[in-house]
Every structure is written in C-alpha cells, then in structure tokens.
Structure 1
Amino acid sequence: MAATARTEKELKDKCTKQLRGGVEDPLEKLRLQCLTRGASGIKGLGRMFQIIDDDGSRKLQRAEFDKGLHDYGIDLSDDEKTAIFAQLDKDGSGCLDYEEFLKALRVSAISICSFFL
C-alpha cells in the first residue's frame, strides 16, 4: 500500500475509533464524521455547502444547514446541530458564512501530525 493510501486509511480508522468512543463537542463530532471520509471529507462538505446555497450568498440559513448535513450523511442530533449553528453564527444573523464555517472545521497541520502520534 502506498504511503499516502496508508496515511488516508489511518486517518479514517482513527476518526472512526474516536467517534465510537464518544465525542462530547458537537463541532468536533462533525469534523470527525467528515474525516472518516478521508482528508477531503471537509472539502466535500464545503462543496455541499455551495450546492445548497441556492442564492449564491455564501451564507446558509439553519434549514439549509440541516439539509446539507443530512444530504452529506452527517449523523447529528437536533441539539448538536443547534449548538454548532449557534457557535458558528458569530454575529447572530441566523446565517452561517461559508469561510467561517470551513475555518471552524479545518484541522491544522499540527493537529494532523499529532493525530498519528
């Protein structure tokens, strides 16, 4: 198995294991569910964000957010979705900004490196 394929598999396996162990933070749970799809899982959710942003405003209302998570196969309770939405809706506008959403989900390179230690 090539090194990149092995690393990708390790990432998926480690995220899956962490999810099975239970995760308290809803945003971390969302991040891990994305990463169980591999390193491009967050990118895929970002694409879903763009697809369901019908008006092209680069913002999602709560209903669009819920639909996007559902369509992408993310398993979160309503309380977890509410907590994530409230955490990321920094200005209280009732909408999530695309850039802020992706920044919140991204895992830093340092976190990825420590992930495998």
Structure 2
Amino acid sequence: MLERLYPALLLLASNIFMTFAWYGHLRYKSAPLALAIAVSWGIALFEYCLMVPANRLGSAMYSAPQLKGMQEVITLLVFAGFSTWYLGQPLKWNHWAGFALIVVAAWLIFQD
C-alpha cells in the first residue's frame, strides 16, 4: 500500500523544485535573463532527478495518463501555495474554479 504513495511523494518534491525553476525568478525581475535561465536549469536538474523515478516507479501501478493527471493536481496545489507564499499573489475565485475543473478532469482519468 505504501509503495502506491511513493510516486505521489516524489511528484510532490519534483513539483516544488520545478515551480521554483519556472516561477521563482519572477521575484527577481531585475536579474539578467541569462542568469535566470541558468539558475532555472540548475533547479530543473533536481526536478528531473525526482520526476523520472516517480514516473518509473509509478508506471508499475498507474497508467501514463493517470501519472500525468496526478502530476497536474500536485502541480496546481504546489503552485497555489507558491503563488501566495513566495510571490505574494493569492489566487482568486476564478483561479480556484479553473483549478477545480482540472481536478475533476484528473479524477475522470482514474475512473474505469
């Protein structure tokens, strides 16, 4: 049972790194773009070191579409916290509504 949780935990950790790689530089808009790209690539390396094992382990019990749906929901949850905490941009009702529709789509992926 616990092994079914490992892919989700690895996806959670990888999404934290990737969210910083994709959006962390927005807090430092005066930094040169080339530096933002280089730092983002460095952070993304750690993300790949977690994402690839998550998908490899997860493929033993989940289909590729299920792994992708799980990843999208985790990404939204991580991003919601990141946007509010790190960027100081809390989500509005329409953001939450849009994210909820994506969660419903992911739920559908897990139905037989």
TM-score by length of 2: 0.30
Q: Which has the higher contact order (CA 8 A, sep 6+)?
A: 2
**Structure of larger gyration radius:** 2
TM-score by length of 1: 0.29
Greater share of residues in helix: 2
